[in-house]
Every structure is written in C-alpha cells, then in structure tokens.
Amino acid sequence: SLNEQAIRSASANHPRPHNTTFAYGTAGFRANADTLDSTMFRVGILAALRSKKLAGQTIGIMVTASHNPEQDNGVKLVDPHGEMLHSSWEQYATLLANAVSDDSLVATVRQVIQATGVDLAVKAKVVFGHDTRPSCRSLVRAVVDGLAALDTDQVNAGLVTTPQLHYLVRCLNTEGTPEAYGEPTVDGYYRKLATAYSTLATGRHLLPALTVDCANGVGAPKLKEFLKVVGNDLLPIIAVRDSTTQAGHLNFDCGADYVKTQQRAPRNVELVPWQRYASFDGDADRIVFYYADADGVFHLLDGDKIAGLVAGFIMDLVKDAGLDDSVKVGVVQTAYANGASTKYLTEGVPVTCVPTGVKHLHHAAESYDVGVYFEANGHGTVLFSPLTLSTISAHSPSSPSASAALSNLRALVDLINQTVGDAISDMLLVETILLHRQWSPAQWDRAYSDYPNRLVKVLVADRTQFVTSDAERRLDKPEGVQAAIDDAVAKVDGGRSFVRPSGTEDCVRVYAEAATRDTADELANTVARIVH
C-alpha cells in the first residue's frame, strides 16, 4: 500500500517554489538549479512508480543539464531498455512536479497510480547518477528521499556520463538473459568498449593524436578512466578543457554546443593545421570533430558528417562480410541536417527525416536493419535490429577477407552504445573508421561541402501558436506564414528554410540555407521578420 505519511513528511522537506511551473520536455526537466529541489524529490517518486508499473524493472535517473550553463541543472528518466522515458509518462512527471502542496502531491501520486494501473505491491528498483555540477550533491539527496518514500531498491552510480547511466540501466535489466548487454558497472562499460576497440585497432598504422575538449565536464574524468583501461598505445589522446573542480568552467567557451553554434574552436585552443580535434558536451552524450586548414580556416565535422562516415563504413563491412543481401543500412536525420549531407547520403542509402528530439530519431532508426541516426549537433548512435544481430552472429564467412570484415562488424556492435548517443563511444567509432581508412580529417571532410546556413532564435508572444507538419519542415499555423516563407525561399538560389517552436527554450527557431553565406543570412533574416 501507499505510505502517504512518508510521502507527506518527506515532501515537507522539499517544498515547491511558488511562481514556477515545470514541464518535462524533450530533455526532461531543466532549469536554474536553485528551483529544482522539489522536482528532484518528485522525480524519485515517479521513477519508483514507473518501475512498479514495469514489473520491478530498473528505471534510471540522470541528474544533469548537459550543455546548459553551470548554474542550471536538470533530470531525465531512463526506461528499462536504456531509452528515454516513454512519452506517455511525461505528463505524469509534469503533474507531479507542479502539485502545489504536500497534500496535493499525495493526491497526484494516487491519480498517477490510478491512471496507469501501478501495482503497489511490486518492489521498485532505480539506478541514479549525476554530472559534475556543484548543485548535484543536494539534488541527488532529494531524488533519494523521493525513492525512499516509496521504499525503493536503489543503486547509486555516482558520477557518470549520461550514456553510461543508460548503459547501466540496460545491463541491469538484461543481466543473465540472452539479450545481456554487458556487465552492469562503469568498469564493465570500459572493458566492453576497450575490448571492441582493441579488436578493431590492433595492427593498424596509428594516426596522429586526437585532441579532445571535455567541456570541463564529466567526460574528462570518464575519458581518463577509459584511457587507463584501453591503454595509450592504441589510442593517442590529448584531453583539454578537463577541469571539473573550478567554479564556472563547465561548458564555458568550450564544449560541443559552443563549437557547433559558434562554428569555432574552444577559446584558447590553438588549432594546429590538419590535426584532429573533438569536443564533448557537458554530460558527454554529444560529440563534434573539427580541424583547421593551412590558412587557419575552421572546418566543422558535425553529426551529419559523422552519419555519412559511419553509414559508409558499415555498408562496406556488411558487403565485405557477404551480408549485403540481408542487412540494409538506413540513416535518420532531422530538418536541421545540412541539405548537402542529405543529398550526399540519399545517393547511397535510404534517408528518413523526423521531428527534432532523440526519441523520434531513435524510434525511426529501429525500423532499419542497421539504423544510423545523428542530429547535426552531434548527438547520435547506431541501432542494430535483433534480427540483424542474430544474422551477424550466425553468419559463416566464405573467404578470409569476409571473415575479417565479419569480426570487425561484430566488434563494431560492441563498440557502439546502442542505448543513446555517447561521446566516448562515438569518438571511438570515428577513430576506428579513420584508422581503417587512414584518413585525415580533411579527407573525411571531402565527401561533400556543407551549404552555408544560419540558425536564429526569434522571440514570439506565444510559441504554441506555431504548428508544424512534414517532420517540422512546414508550418500549418499561424495561417499564411508558410506561403510567405515559400515566397522568400523561391527568390533565393539554393534556398531552404523552415520554422519550428523550440522544445527546450521559449522561442521559435528559424533555419535557412542557401548557395552563399550572404544569401543564407539574408534568407534567415527575411523569414525571421515574417514570423516576428
């Protein structure tokens, strides 16, 4: 039964701030850390209910605000297979977070139990972890109080990257089954990746070292832990922006989001021409690569470039292994993918476009035998369907070269974190491919040239008035706006533009692409004026 008194008295220690409403969005709850204590407590309760609803399977809780400034924090729930919380439960997260008093919280818990058919007799199990933000310590305590109020079995994963937490959830729920994903410890995660990477890298001619900007976040200690396991001789890496103890440094003038949006190197990182660089974001679930040419011009290798590199490599392995009749590769993008990448990919593979948000990409990728998905901002991974996994494990190769390709394909399956985008795993994937191809970053970049593009934010009175269709590429509302955008686009050589409400900020975003830098900027400004 429900211990209402336990919830009520614990809730009294985590009062809800007035004049704030919370919404569980595409990235969970995210706000200034000072406002989040009650929300964390309530997320603990929700995770316990979710676990009970799913027959006591382990649910994950990650306390992080990713690339947001250091003073922010946030929280996301992870479902049993290691994927994002099912969207049907987001409304319950929002309801609980907004209950105005201890009593109404109890009533809301009752309401969620009723609506979802939770069996209270089932013991809940939850694993939780956090990033390097100073606010995590007390916010995690609030989570624990929420878990305790429902007498939950707890696993404290401590300081972890977001993808490590997703990995742990999947491992805990598959342990001892034929779908076992790995040993449910962070060490098990390192060993799984290290073994796979060693298989793929051994005997290859080493490339010059990769410099990794860790955004002064959790990726720094975790990358170093991994390097101890894999050893430096197969993976020469120089970690920079790796300070997690100095206040205000997290994500500041560095990290994947800074590099992608500013289109420049982290501040004070001097790029040596033609060398490889990568940036993680604050919770190490995103990565972008870049380099400078001989003139010092910055070149970004973003999620679109990664998708192209990865899809091409996997297709080659599948073909060389003799599996190209039974295993088909597909790519999933959003409307923010550069048009040049879409054009390039479409010549070789099926490409699907879906609305923004990892859950949409992940879901669409599941419909391919091998689904490669990346957001332009560097968040993505590769999914192998269950049937494809058994095909790959059962296949007997017909030649020594087919056999080599098959072992590489099998190692690749283990190298890739299939639960969610993972900066460390994606870094290893890219490094593996460059090693096999013996490519410099410039050779990788040669596949196609990005069309000039511009992304701008427009503040509007009410962004809910903006309703999109066709994977967010068209505006159905406000009426007439799409026609005006179409007119503007038609006047510009190579023009493409779309408008959608942000899911994480109170604004609408305007994206524009065109044949030249100037016309792309101009088109973005014109469309911004149309929606304003």
Active-site positions read: 66
Distant-in-sequence, close-in-space partners of 72: CB < 8 Å, separation ≥ 6: 30, 31, 32, 33, 65, 133
Q: Which stretch binds ligand NG1 (CB under 6 A): 46-54, 210-218, 290-298, 504-512?
A: 504-512
Q: Which stretch binds ligand NG1 (CB under 6 A): 235-243, 266-274, 487-495, 499-507?
A: 499-507
- The residue sitting closest to Zn ion, measured at its beta carbon, is 66
Q: Which stretch binds Zn ion (CB under 5 A): 141-149, 194-202, 282-290, 383-391?
A: 282-290
Q: Please choose which of ligand NG1, Zn ion, none residue 336 contacts, taking the beta carbon within 5 to 8 angstroms, the exact cut-off set by kind.
A: ligand NG1
Contact call for residue 251 and ligand NG1 (CB under 6 A): no
Beta carbon nearer to Zn ion, 56 or 69: 69
Known binder of ligand: residue 426?
A: no
Known binder of ligand: residue 517?
A: no
Footprint on residues 178-197 left by ligand NG1 (CB under 6 A): none
Q: Beta partners for 213? A: 240, 279
- 405, 397 contact by CB (below 8 A): yes
Beta carbon nearer to Zn ion, 285 or 422: 285
The CA distance from 63 to 135, in Å, is 10
Q: Beta partners for 220? A: none
Length of the chain: 532
Tell which residue, 31, 34, 33, has the closest CA to residue 22: 31
- 260, 300 contact by CB (below 8 A): yes
Q: Beta partners for 128? A: 61, 156
Contact call for residue 281 and Zn ion (CB under 5 A): yes
Q: Which stretch binds ligand NG1 (CB under 6 A): 191-199, 325-333, 372-380, 429-437?
A: 372-380
Q: Please choose which of Zn ion, ligand NG1, none residue 285 contacts, taking the beta carbon within 5 to 8 angstroms, the exact cut-off set by kind.
A: Zn ion
Known binder of ligand: residue 66?
A: yes
Known binder of ligand: residue 414?
A: no
CB of 283 to Zn ion, least distance (A): 4
Q: Is 341 exposed, middle or buried (0-12, 13-18, 19+ CB in 10 A)?
A: buried
Binding residues with ligand NG1: total (CB under 6 A)? 12
Half-sphere exposure of 343 (CA within 13 A, CB side): 9
The CA distance from 373 to 366, in Å, is 10
Contact call for residue 503 and ligand NG1 (CB under 6 A): yes
Dihedral sign from CA coordinates of 253, 261, 281, 503: positive
Contact call for residue 453 and ligand NG1 (CB under 6 A): no
Contact call for residue 379 and ligand NG1 (CB under 6 A): yes
Q: What string marks each residue from 8 to 47 as x (binds ligand NG1 by CB under 6 A) or -?
A: ------------------xx--------------------
Taking residue 253's Cβ as centre, other Cβ atoms within 10 Å add up to 15
Tell which residue, 101, 87, 114, has the closest CA to residue 38: 101
Q: Which stretch binds ligand NG1 (CB under 6 A): 84-92, 234-242, 425-433, 497-505?
A: 497-505
Contact call for residue 522 and Zn ion (CB under 5 A): no
C-alpha to C-alpha distances, 158 to 63, 144, 185, 480, nearest whole angstrom = 10, 12, 11, 51
Contact call for residue 377 and ligand NG1 (CB under 6 A): yes
- The residue sitting closest to ligand NG1, measured at its beta carbon, is 503
Distant-in-sequence, close-in-space partners of 192: CB < 8 Å, separation ≥ 6: 182, 183, 414
Q: Which of 116, 504, 521, 525 binds ligand NG1 (CB under 6 A)?
A: 504
The DSSP annotation for 227-285 comes to HHHH-TTT--EEEES---SSTT-TTTT-SHHHHHHHTSPPTT-PPPTT-EEEEE-TTSS
Pairing of strands 351-353, 329-333: parallel
CB of 484 to ligand NG1, least distance (A): 22
Residues marked as binding for substrate? 375-377, 500-504, 509
Binding site for Zn ion (CB under 5 A): 66, 281, 283, 285
Binding site for ligand NG1 (CB under 6 A): 26-27, 336, 356, 375, 377, 379, 502-505, 509
The binding site comprises: 66, 281, 283, 285, 375-377, 500-504, 509
Annotated binding site for Mg(2+): 66, 281, 283, 285
